[in-house]
Amino acid sequence: MDGRVPTRLLCGCIVTGLFAVAPLPRCEATSPEKPVTSNKGMVVSVSEPASRAGAAMLRRGGNAVDAAVTTAFSLAVTYPPAGNIGGGGFMMVLPKPGMQPVCVEYRETAPAAATPTMFSLTDSRLSPKMVGVPGTVRGLELAHATFGKLSWSTLLQPAIRLADQGFSVDASLARSLNKVLKDDKSLPFKEMRRVYAPPSGKAWQAGDRLVQPDLAGTLRRIAQQGADGFYRGPVAARIVREMQEGNGLISNADLDTYHANLRTPIHGTFHRYDVYGPPPPSSGGIVLIEMLNMVERFGLRKKGRWSPETIHLMIESMRRAYLDRARYLGDQDFVAIPKRLTTKDYAASLASKIDTQKATRSLVLAPEIPIADEGTSTTHFSVIDKQGMAVANTFTLEQSYGARVMVRGAGFLLNNEMGDFNWRPGHTDKKGRIGTEPNTIAPRKRMLSSQTPVLVLKDGKPCLITGSPGGRTIINTVFCVVLNVLEFNMPLPEAIAAPRLHHQWLPDQVRFAGFKLDRYQDLVQQLRSMGHRFNPKAGRQGDAHSIYVDAKTGIRTGVADTRISGKAVAAD
């Protein structure tokens, strides 16, 4: 299942949409964000400075990929929990109406010295040993080389200025920095603590300025030398030094040989819409299409968005698709992935076995998988330009602030993506640890991801650009947003603000994010009577910064998710 496509493609895209007005449920998770509209272009991300940098590149004459590259590098400065040059991700690009979308895949890889049993279940995720070979810089370079318009150096200048001159920290980032610095687990990571030390010496406050001169120097080198300025020379040497001194595995050869890929996206249909998501090593595209194919058969709109029947059928679809994620999915260059998973016939066979009145126990669905008995941070942004080129990009350090390993003298954090492999072959348990073969560790293998940047098209033109952070919850966040818009005709601000739910096969429990279980006792009680079990500590789920364009007027509308922070910025 080699999904690579030729590297020479034409540029240009459009984003359109149709949204009938639908009332928000009383159980909305957040207040709907006021949308930002434009007939030119739009950038929506978690960071206002990064969104403004990307929109400025559009006004300068850059296209959506140019703006995405600028936004991504700016997020590496302004959103250190997940924005990065030391991690990896997936970028969905639609070249122009009538063309097929393309996925720029820049997932991290296991170092050549990695082995299937290199971790125990008690190993800390915060160490150099957890670092995968970073992919972000090569991925952004590949996207620019294939689709970009402005010069590479030009695209990095906003990020360099933000790092060199600093930027004003908002309340959300101040809380995040204070939390990670106060965490006892951060005590060994002296360089991270030095770089992010509050200017007052006490605690970060909204309005304080974060200046990062070491990172500015690294970005200047990348601006001058391209990705080689990261993967070779002094920056690479600094990465390897961190590995050697901390029992990490990445070598100069690992960095020198890393490559990003252009891959064919996963494609499915939902009613009259075409849905495109990232292929393996992301599980997002396959799992999303599999769930949409199942629920399409049940006529959810007639049942109502917040009816117990609708939520029951969504949960049961999630349960089955996430089981297939565990059974079959991994790096497509190492694992043969069944093509049937995204077919309508396969979905029909799964859906036919769903009891519409009763929850299925997860363990019953997988008797062939031995179950042992025993008692994350990403960010997404969306972009569109005046000519209609559209980008959905999700990238990550894995956990918030990654491995917390700051590369000394280079000013950036490294990921802890090795934790996304199945650590212990054969060990699957009720808590959700998965040990199935497709995602076990192997040298140079790409770990399975849940990142799900998505482009939805209708009649050859896209109607929705979306995605989210959230570990394994990512796919279900996107599933909820897509259903809200396409099945239930919610306006985009309400589709983003609405509550979300999650089930991932194991643990066998439902997470409601935005529902107050005590306040919605009738709904919860009906679902419990069907046999569903609940995790009462759902917390926040996702951060879906999204765009649509009205099919009749051509007006682009950007909506920032308010669960963390964010800003939609027009290119007018």
For every residue of 429-497, which 3-state class applies, written as one string? Answer: ECCCCCCCHHHECCCCCECCECCCCEEEEECCEEEEEECCCCHHHHHHHHHHHHHHHHCCCCCHHHHHH
Which residues, 6+ apart, have CB-to-CB distance to 49 below 8 Å?
Answer: 74, 77, 78, 162, 167, 168
* DSSP codes, 352-383: TT--TTSPPPGGGG-TTS-EE----EEEEEEE
Q: Which of 378, 440, 473, 562 is an active site residue?
A: 378
**Does a cis peptide bond (omega within 30 degrees of 0) precede residue 507?**
yes
CA distances from 423 to 82, 117, 427 (A): 23, 7, 8
Catalytic residue flag (residue 70): no
Which residues, 6+ apart, have CB-to-CB distance to 345 below 8 Å?
Answer: none
In the numeric block, the tokens 């991932």 are attached to 504
Residue 37: strand pairing partners: 557
**Hey, how many other C-beta atoms are within 10 angstroms of the C-beta on 21?**
8
In the structure encoding, which two tokens stand for residue 118, read together? 């290199």
In the structure encoding, which two tokens stand for residue 59, read together? 């006004």
- Which SS3 state, helix, strand or coil, does residue 141 take? helix
Residue 38: strand pairing partners: 556
CA distances from 537 to 143, 510, 511, 513, 541 (A): 39, 10, 8, 9, 11
Residue 167: strand pairing partners: 210
- Which SS3 state, helix, strand or coil, does residue 244 take? helix
Angle at 241 between CA 237 and CA 247, to 5 degrees: 140
Q: Are 410 and 214 in contact (CB under 8 A)?
A: yes
Buried b (16+ CB within 10 A) or exposed e, 351-385: beebeeeebbebeebbeebeeeeeebbbbbbbbbb
Measured distance CA(230)–CA(133) in Å, rounded: 12
Measured distance CA(460)–CA(521) in Å, rounded: 43
Kind and range of the H or E run holding 461 = strand 461-466
Measured distance CA(289)–CA(84) in Å, rounded: 28
CA atoms within 13 A on the CB side of 304: 8
Measured distance CA(31)–CA(284) in Å, rounded: 27
Which residues are identified as catalytic? 378
